[in-house]
Amino acid sequence: MLDSQNLGEIDELKSQIQQLKTNEENFQQITENIKEVFFIIDSQTDEICYVSPAYEKVWGRSCKSLYESPQSWLLAIHPDDCSEAMGTLETQFRTGEEFQEEYRIIRPDNSICWVRVRAFPVRNLEEKVDRFVGIAEDITLRKNTETALRQTEEHFRLIFEQASIGIAVTNLSGKFLKVNPAFCQMLAYSEPDLFASTFKNILQVGDDKIHRKIIDRLIQFRQVEDQLEVCCQTKSQEIIDVLLKIVVIYDEFDQPINLQYQLIDITDRKRMEQQLVYDALHDPLTELPNRVLFTDRLMRAIIRCKARNDYCYAVLFLDIDRFKVVNDGLGHLAGDELLILVTKRLLKVLRPIDTIARFGGDEFVILLDEDCDRQTAIQIADKLQCSLDNHFEIEGNRIFVSISIGITLSTNQYERPEDILRDADATMYKAKDKGRARYEVFDESLRAAALNRLKLENELRTGLLQNQFCLFYQPIIDVESLEIKGFEALVRWFHPVHGMVSPSDFIPVAEETGLIIALGEMIFEMACQQLTDWHQEQFDLSHLKLSINLSGKQLMDPHLLGVINRVMSRPNIGSQRIKLEITESILLEQDYQAINVLNNLRESGFEISLDDFGTGYSSLSYLQRLPIDTLKIDRSFIQKIQHDVQNKNLAIVQSIITLSHAIGLNVIAEGVETQEQLDKLATLGCEFVQGYFFSPPVDSVRASEFLRKRIIEM
């Protein structure tokens, strides 16, 4: 029988058992559900007393296999970590101290897992360690992250160390915290130098202020980076151009903590840019400003002049007289040297505020800036001319040069640089016309002439579009037979308001403006059309030549041969019907290129006439070298032979004719107006004549009548 005490004990026991069960259940729930491995090891026998099921997942082996073979725990350790892990284990087991270690294990499927094992001694009543309880956890993820982090850090360290751009980190006051070798090298400072300094010290004063402002703005608007170009000073006081990137580093609370700077040395690029800008604005030969730069400065002067009553300036247009002669005579190198030497002399006369520019060729333009009234401008022009009084010594030759100067004074009416330049240019030409080596000051009459010219240019354009041009023909007569041997085609402009305008008035403008190219083509076209018409009207053209005038501009036009070939491609007219007249000044002014073109034309069958002979500078001996067939003696000689008491002009004409014949040229005398002139020319053996005595230039109807009769009846 159980008494109540026994019953109480039983209840007590029952509740204890219940408690134990609960405890075990709790323990089981913990150990079975936590991913860490719990274990208990007997420190005497090394036997595994308990291992939680998580072991199977971490080690990839069954718990049973571990109970059966406790060594399998150790055998799973990675060979590289094995000796260290075993060492720790042995020592700790011996000393009975708590321990912790990390090592890799190899699972049966060869996957590798990092584990951290911690074990704590459990002491019995006699304070002896008889067991270790422990916990092992899979730390593979953490380890991998650590490795990746280490690799990234290493990577960044390498980038920082080996970067070719300079990188520095400073605190917000600019104190250097970190600098890379490129940064030190760029500024020629050592690391300790920089650590003792601040970023401000390497910047130029102005740039420091700008850079500070940028940082303040970045921080104010919570921005990260910006970049700018600055100048830095190296330790050796050298200034380098730098592209500077500023990065603000914020902490996790979004507070700025440091600054990172990235520097790229752009000194070379900057220098190149500066060189390019310089080249774009300067003449390579003399290093003087060119037209672009000059025009810019002149524009500023124009604006200033409009704004200030007391401001006046002057523009001087300079041209070296007969530069062509030196250039052609001594060669281009000598010509270049002369330009450089002239530049030096001119520069000596000018004040620092003045600008002298070379506009190409032998043209110089000067802007006399600030307080330059008429008198000052004239004084300076005088000095410029005097500066060339002494000769130049080039390649052993003594060369004397003079300049012609056109002066234009400021008025507040000028709006555009090209207007002043146009006036100065026109004035310079006036100085040339008046005999060179002098200056002229622009006045209203010149302005009127310039305006007229501008008007004429516009009217010429309209005239071309509206076909206001036609050809007149002046007969060329054989002196012996008085038969018509040819015509000279002379252009006429029927202006809607002014009536017939003389070519002497508009050809020069057409040449200057380039309109002569279009006009010349039209003339060639009309002349050939006339030949075609005559051919169709059954005229015998076999002994006839039509002379067409070619201007220098046309001769230098690269399309000339193409145009002529196109026009000549029409049937029934060949190049042998055409003579091309060029003036001797063209041959003097143009270089060998012109001669080449003439040779080409002659090879195509055209004859070449040298027009207005005697008005230029060419000597008779020079003629021999020219690709020409005929020489036209200028009418100024012909007109003088009649009243020439000393027979001086007669002698000249005679020698021209004799020499021409000697070198196989025909001679045409232009401007024959009287019987007397004709008789004298006949005695001198001149073959052909042309002039009012026979007929003025006539329209095509009259010309056709002449052609029908073939002989000029007087």
Residues that bind ligand C2E (CB under 6 A): 474, 489-491, 502-504, 507, 523, 549-551, 581, 611-612, 635, 670-673, 691-692, 697
Q: How far is the CB of 651 from ligand C2E (least distance, A)?
A: 22
Q: Residue 251 — φ and ψ, nearest 5°?
A: -90, -175
**Measured from the CB atom, is 424 or 489 closer to ligand C2E?**
489
What whole-number distance in Å separates Cα of residue 468 and Cα of residue 522?
A: 11
* Nearest CA among 94, 98, 57, 58 for reference residue 77: 58
What whole-number distance in Å separates Cα of residue 293 and Cα of residue 498?
A: 42
Among 611, 660, 689, 697, binds Mg ion (CB under 5 A): 611
Q: How far is the CB of 523 from ligand C2E (least distance, A)?
A: 4
Q: How far is the CB of 441 from ligand C2E (least distance, A)?
A: 31
Q: How far is the CB of 602 from ligand C2E (least distance, A)?
A: 19
Q: Which does 490 bind (CB under 5 to 8 A by kind): ligand C2E, Mg ion, none?
A: ligand C2E
Q: Which does 691 bind (CB under 5 to 8 A by kind): ligand C2E, Mg ion, none?
A: ligand C2E
Yes or no: say if 187 and 234 are a contact pair by the CB < 8 Å rule.
yes
Q: How far is the CB of 533 from ligand C2E (least distance, A)?
A: 18
What whole-number distance in Å separates Cα of residue 153 and Cα of residue 616?
A: 86
Q: How far is the CB of 673 from ligand C2E (least distance, A)?
A: 4
H or E element, residue 386: helix 374-386
Q: Which does 697 bind (CB under 5 to 8 A by kind): ligand C2E, Mg ion, none?
A: ligand C2E
Q: Which does 552 bind (CB under 5 to 8 A by kind): Mg ion, ligand C2E, none?
A: none
**Measured from the CB atom, is 440 or 581 closer to ligand C2E?**
581
Q: Which does 614 bind (CB under 5 to 8 A by kind): Mg ion, ligand C2E, none?
A: none
3-class secondary-structure state, position 84: helix
What whole-number distance in Å separates Cα of residue 366 and Cα of residue 384?
A: 11
- Can residue 584 be called a binding residue for Mg ion (CB under 5 A)? no
For residue 34, give both structure tokens.
């936590």
Q: Which does 536 bind (CB under 5 to 8 A by kind): ligand C2E, Mg ion, none?
A: none
**Measured from the CB atom, is 371 or 676 closer to ligand C2E?**
676
Residues 6+ apart with CB under 8 A from 370: 311, 313, 353
Please name the residue that has the structure tokens 């006439």: 609
Residues of span 632-671 touching Mg ion by CB under 5 A: 670
- Can residue 612 be called a binding residue for Mg ion (CB under 5 A)? yes
* Nearest CA among 526, 528, 522 for reference residue 460: 522
Q: How far is the CB of 546 from ligand C2E (least distance, A)?
A: 11
Q: How many CA atoms does the CB half-sphere of 329 hold within 13 Å? A: 11
Q: How far is the CB of 361 from ligand C2E (least distance, A)?
A: 23
Q: Which does 671 bind (CB under 5 to 8 A by kind): Mg ion, ligand C2E, none?
A: ligand C2E
**Measured from the CB atom, is 316 or 471 closer to ligand C2E?**
471
**Measured from the CB atom, is 293 or 633 closer to ligand C2E?**
633
Q: Which does 507 bind (CB under 5 to 8 A by kind): Mg ion, ligand C2E, none?
A: ligand C2E
Among 549, 590, 666, 690, binds Mg ion (CB under 5 A): 549
**Measured from the CB atom, is 178 or 492 closer to ligand C2E?**
492
Q: Which does 504 bind (CB under 5 to 8 A by kind): Mg ion, ligand C2E, none?
A: ligand C2E
Q: How far is the CB of 702 from ligand C2E (least distance, A)?
A: 14
**Measured from the CB atom, is 474 or 530 closer to ligand C2E?**
474
**Measured from the CB atom, is 31 or 695 closer to ligand C2E?**
695
What whole-number distance in Å separates Cα of residue 419 and Cα of residue 412?
A: 12
3-class secondary-structure state, position 446: helix
Residue 492's alpha-carbon distances to 220, 469, 497, 525, 698, in angstroms, are: 79, 6, 14, 14, 10
Q: How far is the CB of 639 from Mg ion (least distance, A)?
A: 13
**Measured from the CB atom, is 46 or 673 closer to ligand C2E?**
673
**Measured from the CB atom, is 427 or 551 closer to ligand C2E?**
551
Please name the residue that has the structure tokens 């620092």: 352
**Measured from the CB atom, is 259 or 548 closer to ligand C2E?**
548
For residue 251, give both structure tokens.
């902490």
What whole-number distance in Å separates Cα of residue 570 and Cα of residue 531?
A: 11
Q: How far is the CB of 612 from ligand C2E (least distance, A)?
A: 5
- Can residue 590 be called a binding residue for Mg ion (CB under 5 A)? no
* Nearest CA among 590, 596, 546 for reference residue 567: 546
Q: Which does 491 bind (CB under 5 to 8 A by kind): Mg ion, ligand C2E, none?
A: ligand C2E
Q: Which does 503 bind (CB under 5 to 8 A by kind): ligand C2E, Mg ion, none?
A: ligand C2E
Q: How far is the CB of 696 from ligand C2E (least distance, A)?
A: 6
**Measured from the CB atom, is 345 or 495 closer to ligand C2E?**
495
For residue 37, give both structure tokens.
């491995």
To the nearest 10°, report the CA torsion of 584, 585, 590, 595: 0
Hey, what long-range contacts does 567-576 have (CB within 8 A, 24 or more apart)? Answer: 567/521, 567/524, 567/525, 567/528, 568/528, 570/528, 570/532, 572/531, 572/532, 572/535, 572/536, 573/528, 573/531, 573/532, 573/535, 574/605, 575/604, 575/605, 575/606, 576/605, 576/607
Q: Which does 337 bind (CB under 5 to 8 A by kind): Mg ion, ligand C2E, none?
A: none
Residues of span 459-478 touching Mg ion by CB under 5 A: none
Sign of CA dihedral 335, 340, 346, 348: negative
What whole-number distance in Å separates Cα of residue 57 and Cα of residue 61?
A: 7
Residue 628's alpha-carbon distances to 189, 334, 382, 495, 674, in angstroms, are: 76, 30, 44, 35, 28
Q: What string marks each residue from 499 to 538 as x (binds Mg ion by CB under 5 A) or -? A: ----------------------------------------
* Nearest CA among 386, 385, 388, 353 for reference residue 369: 353
Which amino acid, 620? L
Q: How far is the CB of 506 from ligand C2E (least distance, A)?
A: 9
**Measured from the CB atom, is 131 or 635 closer to ligand C2E?**
635
**Measured from the CB atom, is 237 or 504 closer to ligand C2E?**
504
3-class secondary-structure state, position 299: helix
Write out the residues near Mg ion by the rule CB under 5 A: 549, 581, 611-612, 670
